[in-house]
Amino acid sequence: MANSWGIPKNIEDLVLERDQRCVYCGCEFGAERAKKKSWEHIINDIRITTLDNIALCCVGCNASKGSKELTNWFYSENARKRGITSETIADVVKVALDQRQESPLN
């Protein structure tokens, strides 16, 4: 799964090693379409290619989140239907959510 997002190779390698499950719903990646791995920018800004913003999530979550802002999506009905809670999300997502909530500009 080559990425076409301009993600630096070292970041790509670290994320591939770190994210063994979907960072949102926690599912194990698989061959089935909705469970395939996909590259995710936690904050929807493709210029941010840091370890904090690049993650792997399943195609199902990626499609559900789309271009929605992380916090809005996390608390949405769509995320709830997917079974996404503070228990299923990876640490990298928890940190991003905390940061969003502390910033009044977002």
Task: Report DSSP state, residue 57.
Answer: E
39 φ, ψ (degrees, to nearest 5):
-75, 135
Rounded to a whole number of angstroms, the minimum distance from the CB of residue 79 to Zn ion is 10
Chain residues in the site for Zn ion (CB under 5 A): 22, 24-25, 58, 61
In the complex with Zn ion, the residue whose CB is nearer, 94 or 106, is 94
Q: C-alpha angle 71/88/78, rounded to 5°?
A: 50
Rounded to a whole number of angstroms, the minimum distance from the CB of residue 29 to Zn ion is 9
Rounded to a whole number of angstroms, the minimum distance from the CB of residue 65 to Zn ion is 9
